[in-house]
Amino acid sequence: MSKKQLPVAPAGRPCARVTCETLPSALDRWDGGIKAAATDDNSISVFDVIGQDYWGEGVTAKRIAGALRAINGADVTVNINSPGGDMFEGLAIYNLLREYEGRVTVKVLGIAASAASVIAMAGDEIQIGRGAFLMIHNCWVYAMGNRHDFAELAQSLEPFDTAMADIYAARSGLDMAAVQKLMDAESYIGGSDAVAKELADSLLSADAVSDGDESPAAALRKLDALLAKTNTPRSERRKLIKALSGGMPGAVTTNDGTPGAAEDIKPETINSLESALAALVK
């Protein structure tokens, strides 16, 4: 299916009070070690959370726009293994890929959850690993306010949910009612099922996927999610993550948008912290 036939996603955010974080259940399922077995100059890696993170990094519309400008209209491959994140940033990235003049091939290598699943829909061709997943759900946000603010917020989120359902329905062989039911249930859709539902065109060959060690940056995100489950305030979580990653956010950035400072942390240190926190939240 040509991406040009897909609907345009709404721009902006429902209100200034809304913030987004990655859904903890998606982070739990994310294996940050899954990457593409091979890449070239005309490929874009979406191997991180969607939206800006503590370090001022992450997969953002600004970064994707810059990558597309560099590729300059040539055909592009977008490799995805992401737990999602900022839904509204994801919609902006979807629009960028939809409007790109070259052919876009999307490869879902591990998981394309939440905002990342919307990005995945913007391909002229979508390939998915047999053991990979799409996860679709309704907008998931944090907000503050009184009951009137929340009533207004619920109404303002509805058009975004409808727009996402419209994108999934246009891309697949499903009607809107069926898609909305899947979104309401927060559905994880495996590779073969995604092809059957026409949310993907074909299965990736096994040799297209490389499964290495999970990066420290990915492990830190899971640690942050565990801290959130213990009701640790976001400001305190941020201080701890910065301390673990060397203190200076954004000091070193790799070409796939992951904060390089985190690479100095020993994986066993993070594993020990994760185990201790997991015991607290059981």
Domains of the chain, each with CATH number or no CATH = 13-211 (3.90.226.10), 216-281 (no CATH)
Length of the chain: 282
* pLDDT value at residue 234: 67
DSSP letter at 172 equals S
The 10 Å CB-count burial string (b at 16+, else e) for 108-131 is bbbbbbbbbbbbbbbbbbbbbbeb
Rounded to an integer, the average pLDDT of 50-65 is 85
Each residue of 73-84: pLDDT tens digit?
Answer: 999 999 999 999
DSSP H helices, 3-146, are 24-29, 61-71, 87-99, 115-120
Separation between Cα atoms, residue 213 and residue 181, nearest integer Å: 36
Residues 175-219 pLDDT 10s: 999 999 999 999 999 999 999 999 999 999 988 998 876 666 666
Q: Are residues 79 and 26 in contact, defined by beta-carbon separation less than 8 angstroms? A: no
β-bridge mates for residue 44, sequence order? 78
Arithmetic mean of pLDDT over the chain: 84
What residue type is 266 in one-letter code? K
Q: Which residues, at least 6 apart from 239, have a Cβ–Cβ distance to it below 8 Å?
A: none
Q: Rounded to whole angstroms, how far apart are CA atoms 246 and 253?
A: 13
- Residue type at position 211: D
φ, ψ of residue 210 to 5 degrees: the values are -110, 130
**CA 6 centroid distance within chain:** 20
Strand, helix or coil for residue 104: strand
pLDDT tens, residue by residue, 215-270: 666 667 767 766 766 777 767 777 777 776 665 443 333 344 444 444 455 555 55
Distance separating alpha carbons of residues 78 and 161, to the nearest angstrom: 24
CA-nearest of 131, 139, 134, 191 to 23 is 139
Q: Compute the distance between CA of residue 249 and CA of residue 261 in angstroms, rounded to an integer.
A: 8
Tokens 């293994």 belong to residue: 81
Strands (E), 26-158: 34-36, 43-46, 76-82, 104-113, 125-128, 133-136
CB of 223 within 8 A of CB of 274?
Answer: yes
Q: What is the pLDDT of residues 121-176, one digit of tens each?
A: 999 999 999 999 999 999 988 888 899 989 998 999 999 999 999 999 999 989 99
C-alpha distances in Å from residue 258, one per residue of 56, 58, 114:
10, 6, 19
- Phi and psi angles of residue 203, each rounded to the nearest 5 degrees, phi first: -90, 140
Nearest to 31 by CA among 129, 142, 118, 127: 129
